Amino acid sequence: MKLSLRFLSVVFSASVAVGCSNAEPEEIAQGEQNLTEDEEKLAKIREAVKDVDQEHVVFDEDVTAPASSAGSGARGASASLYGVDWFQKWAGGRSADHGWDNGSVHGKRCMWASVARFEAIMKDAPPELEEFLAEYSKWGGGFYNWNDDYSGTSEDGQPAFGDARGARLWAWRTGLSKWISATAKDGSCYLPTREMLVSYVAACKARVASNDGEMQGCEARR
């Protein structure tokens, strides 16, 4: 995942540059090791979600999230994904929370998987998306990375309400869409698919035609 790995490299380089006068050799070596470990973790996630038509992904036990935030997202030729938005479905869970460190272990893995899926789709972006963005100027192709997380428990050990059933795409505002993954209680992950994105474009075109040129509210799911 070129953009994500480039982001991790920039983070590491910047941290070394800022602290170069005081950094000990072993500290620099540890930073390099951490970066390498994150790259390896991203490679495993990328492999797990490479089928762009597979919505439900069950991970092997050795597939874990990188330590770094997924907030840098990814950018395709015409669309982009960015941000962190947690919606945790257990009592006391966070909602509309943008702090990476506040995510659960499985939630973080699913959010990184969402970035990897977006990148995989954008390697061969649907022509329907490209055409819509070319003709519709009110949306620049930006998606915000949202995760519905059912994998955690409350302080007294109670599980989340319900369980994950699927991913979806939703126009929160005309100019900003949500790329919504879902983390199930068992740690598996539901991700947007290429077919879902094509359906989303069709739904948004219909919404624009019936809503005075605004796409706000259009959505797609399985």
pLDDT at 34: 60
Whole-Å CA distances, 1 to 49, 76, 96, 167? 12, 11, 26, 21
In which band, very low, low, confident or very high, does the pLDDT at 167 lie, cut at 50, 70 and 90? very high
* All structural domains of the chain with their residue ranges: 2-221
| CA dist., res. 76 & res. 177, Å (int) | 15
pLDDT at 36: 87
pLDDT digits (tens, 9 = 90+) for 107-146: 999 999 999 999 999 999 999 999 999 999 999 999 999 9
In which band, very low, low, confident or very high, does the pLDDT at 38 lie, cut at 50, 70 and 90? very high
pLDDT digits (tens, 9 = 90+) for 40-92: 999 999 999 999 999 999 999 999 999 999 999 999 999 999 999 999 999 99
Q: What is the pTM of this model?
A: 0.86
What tokens does 64 get? Answer: 């874990």
Task: Tell me: pLDDT of 12 over 90.
Answer: no
Task: Tell me: pLDDT of 28 over 70.
Answer: no
